[in-house]
Structure 1
Amino acid sequence: MAKRWRQLTIWLHVLTSVGWMAQVMALCVLLATGLAAGAGPGRDAATAMALALDGRLVGPMADASAFTGIMLAAATPWGFFRHWWVLAKFVITLVQLNVGIFLLSPALQHSAVAGPSPSQIAGGALMAGAIAFQCWLSIAKPWGRVRPGLRTVPATAPSWIFIVTVLGGLADLALAMVIGHPMPLLSLVLIVVGLTSRRSGVTRIVP
């Protein structure tokens, strides 16, 4: 049971990460279409669709990807600061979320009035590239351990952690689809629970 729910958590993380990347690429296409169309109905339609895509898919997918990734790190022996590839993914994700929230989304709102800009398209392309790089990190797992001599690791969390991660992630995605923008309240609560569980988890010795 625990293994099955852990696999489902990984599946949801992969699904939302790839979905995040694909929707950002679609956002770039819409913005490029609006930029090429110039002022007029074509530009207005492209930016309106870009705004809808950002609120209903890009933002929710980003939140769900980050949430499931954080929970997997917190609930498994991988941790956050034991392996360079996990640490790199964690840092890149935090940067992406802040750039998306405080730079790209406000710029997208502005584009509904002023039209898309080349910098918006470039920013979206960089974000999609960063997500693709994170996918490579997950597969290649390069660079080894942060502290090679450390031999104690937390044990894998109980199955209920993975169950609430899957159900909570899907619930937040469904809520975002309904209201039209991300509202990851449940995810934030579960992250606190997951981090607390990791702190109090049993450690084991690795060879």
Structure 2
Amino acid sequence: MKPKLRKSWLLLHVISSVGWLGVTIGMLVLALAAFDAPQLYQAMSLLGDLVVLPLALTALVTGVVLSLGTKWGLVKHRWVLVKFVLTVIAVIATTFSLRSGLHEAAGGVVAAGSDVLVACCVSLTLYTFNTVLSVFKPWGRTRWG
């Protein structure tokens, strides 16, 4: 991949990943506040559908493009492979679990509020761990590297 193209993909990847992390922090704050103001779940539901999912998919796609188009490869280094697997898990969980929990909470299902809070905490931990992997690049090469 040529340097300008790589930097463009990298920029899009960083923006979408940081955006995903930032919206998750905002969702965590809203999930805490929603225990006293349940109408906030409606805003969280909109964020989940219109912001979180597109950011998650963009981060996944740009990450795959970068891994395949650079020296890191998708399966050459353990940190890239782990980050990819965790991102796929996060996208699936966001699509099928977090969003449905947000819709239930927005619809007035009281028990869904604690599930949403837990999902936000797990998501934040996962995205933070992925960020650490991107910075420190631990563990060396895989057997395919």
Question: Does the alignment reach a TM-score above 0.5?
Answer: yes
Pair member with larger Rg: 1
Partner of 1:158: none
Structure 2 counterpart of 1:61: 55
SS at match of 1:117: helix
2:122 maps to: 126
Q: How far, CA to CA, are the matches of 1:89 and 1:21 in structure 2? A: 14
Residue 77 of structure 1: CA displacement? 2.4
C-alpha separation between the residues in 1 aligned to 2:4 and 2:74?
A: 22
Q: Is the 8 A contact 2:12 2:62 kept in 1?
A: yes
Distance 1:110 1:118 in 2: 11
Which residue identity lines up with residue 137 of structure 2 in the other structure? K
Instruction: For residues 106-163 of structure 1, give each alpha carbon's deviation from its aligned partner in whole angstroms, at most 9, with x where no partner exists.
Output: 1111011214522221211111111111111111110100128x5xxxxxxxxxxxxx
* 2:136 equivalent to 1:140: yes
Q: Secondary structure at the match of 2:73?
A: coil
For 2:119 and 2:42, locate their aligned partners in 1 and report how far apart those are by CA, in whole Å.
19
C-alpha displacement of 1:25: 1.4
Please list the CA deviations of residues 149-200 of structure 1 after superposition, one character each: whole Å capped at 9, or x if unmatched.
x5xxxxxxxxxxxxxxxxxxxxxxxxxxxxxxxxxxxxxxxxxxxxxxxxxx
1:95 is matched with which residue? 89
Match of 1:199 in 2: none
Q: Does 1:43 align with 2:38?
A: yes
How big is the alpha-carbon RMSD for the aligned residues of Structure 1 and Structure 2? 1.6
Aligned position for 2:12: 12
Unaligned runs of 5+ residues in structure 2 are none
Q: Which residue of 2 aligns with 1:117?
A: 113
User: Aligned AA for 1:95?
Assistant: I
Equivalent residues of 2:49, 2:99 under 8 A apart: no
2:25 is matched with 25
- Output one character per residue of 1:29-68: Cα deviation in whole Å (capped at 9) or x when no partner: 1122111x1xxxx312x01111111122111111111110
2:34 paired residue number: 34
Distance in 2 between residues matched to 1:64 and 1:48, nearest whole Å: 24
**Residue 78 (str. 1) matches residue 60 (str. 2):** no
2:3 corresponds to 1:3: yes
User: 2:138 is paired with a residue of what secondary structure?
Assistant: coil
Residue 34 of structure 2: SS of its match in structure 1?
helix
Aligned residue pairs, count: 143
Give the gaps of 5 or more residues in structure 1. 151-207
**TM-score, with structure 1 as normaliser:** 0.65
TM-score, structure 2 normalization: 0.91
Structure 2: which amino acid aligns with 1:80?
Answer: L
Measured in 2, the distance between the counterparts of 1:57 and 1:101 equals 12
Alpha-carbon distance, 1:104 to partner: 1.1
